[in-house]
Chain A
């Protein structure tokens, strides 16, 4: 059966990252296709989060981090000197492990990004807030409490609020770093369903230490170990017939 090759949204080429003397990412090349969920798995310290953060230059915030190689986003290397990092992070948004709403109302949390980008029209902002909360599957639960503090929401709702906040600035790619690891199973299931729905509009890359979560939500999975990309393939293949023994040992829990 002929399948059309998915378009590549982000491409890492020979990426190397050092934290001081520690070689955290070792010559990794990997393509992230559009409108799919790509999961990064591997044991703690394998480099999966470092790699994720390299995609929108979040590692710049770490003083000792040194990056060589390329991350191509629409054929531009995001590490080129001329790249506007703020604009880059608007187009490649990020969701963190610990939900971090601003100590503001639900409405203001979502309206914050568009507002600092200069959107002042109240009606437009209302639309953005509703649309973003809808897409984050939170609207139904909060539509009558938009003035309530974001911090008053449950953990799972706070995480969806952060997703809504990321969506409000209309990103193209969403990076998620363990987005459900602090949540209970029901809140986790909601986030996972949400991830599945969001991929229709966005490209998603997710780091998770929960292998089952990677299996459930992703289309492609990359297995990292000691800073190297060991194997990268369709998730189905990675969890039914991986080609590398190290991957097999990791996904079956026989590691070490």
Chain B
């Protein structure tokens, strides 16, 4: 007899996958709106965030039900805890997509071709990391999740590079101040998307292998490990 509880867990996973695909689309659209200066697409991303928020609330509700009513343990408990964090991470990635879309609108309004510095490269990496993090969750693949973790340094480096370049830009020409601030904002948002996809990947590893990999926890002696 298949347990009702297992069906509910499966339902939560399906709902998170649905949310992940909406968020992935929003990030892709925000990036495209930015790189191609497409104002309409940016508006669509901003409006589309409401759906992400709705899904977050729905998932929150399901998670509270499962925790309060089903007393999950072992892999079920780890899945639900991971799901709760991934739900939160996805919602915040959605917010960063909105921020990027807002910057895209600002750029689109200037009729000038802004220098995008390292940002196109960062967009590629952030989208790739997000896709892999989501795939690792869907396919319960800790190996793919680990690869996501390894790429976070790349995007962090590019963020620092972008900020240095922006400083240089402003130093050379004070008229670039507004553009520079906007570029910094985009860069920061992409870097945060990288961080949050890293969190998702860490949760996948926790869920599957019961290993806490965030904050280098396994190298520490003072943290509570799950044995």
Q: Which residues on A are within 8 Å of B, measured CB to CB?
A: 137, 189-190, 193, 196, 212, 215-216, 235-236, 239-240
Contacts and interface: CB of A to CB of B under 8 A. Distances in A.
Contacts of B3: 189, 193
Contacts of B64: 240
Given A216-B69, A240-B68, 15 more contacts: A137-B1, A190-B1, A193-B1, A193-B4, A196-B4, A212-B71, A215-B69, A215-B70, A215-B71, A216-B70, A216-B71, A239-B68, A239-B69, A240-B64, A240-B65
A215 B3 CA distance: 15
Interface of B is mostly: helix
A211 to B, nearest CB: 10
Nearest to A190: B1
Nearest to A189: B3
Contacts of A235: 69
Interface in B57-71: 64-65, 68-71
A236 B68 contact: yes
A157 to B, nearest CB: 14
A190 B4 CA distance: 11
Contact of B69 (A137, A190, A236): A236
Interface of B: 1, 3-5, 64-65, 68-71
Contacts of A240: 64-65, 68
Contact of A236 (B5, B65, B71): B65
A189 B3 CA distance: 9
A193 B5 CA distance: 9
Contacts of A236: 65, 68-69
A196 B70 CA distance: 13
A139 to B, nearest CB: 12
A190 B2 CA distance: 10
Contacts of B71: 212, 215-216
A216 B71 CA distance: 8
A48 B72 CA distance: 27
14 contacts: A137-B1, A190-B1, A193-B1, A193-B3, A193-B4, A196-B4, A215-B68, A216-B69, A216-B70, A216-B71, A236-B68, A236-B69, A239-B68, A239-B69
A238 B65 CA distance: 11
B53 to A, nearest CB: 17
A189 B70 CA distance: 12
Most buried by B among A137, A190, A212, A240: A240
Nearest to B70: A216
Nearest to A196: B4
A216 B4 CA distance: 10
A103 B3 CA distance: 32
A236 B64 CA distance: 9
Nearest to B61: A236
Contacts of A212: 71
A240 B1 CA distance: 28
Contacts of B69: 215-216, 235-236, 239
Contacts of B5: 216
A189 B71 CA distance: 13
B193 to A, nearest CB: 33
Most buried by A among B3, B4, B65, B68: B68
Most buried by A among B1, B3, B64, B69: B69
Contacts of A196: 4
Nearest to A239: B68
A216 B64 CA distance: 13
A34 B159 CA distance: 60
A137 B2 CA distance: 12
Contacts of B4: 193, 196
A173 B5 CA distance: 25
Nearest to B3: A193
A196 B65 CA distance: 16
A77 to B, nearest CB: 34
A212 B65 CA distance: 13
A210 to B, nearest CB: 11
A160 B3 CA distance: 17
B77 to A, nearest CB: 14
A235 B70 CA distance: 12
A103 B61 CA distance: 48
B104 to A, nearest CB: 35
A215 B71 CA distance: 9
Contacts of A137: 1
A215 B64 CA distance: 12
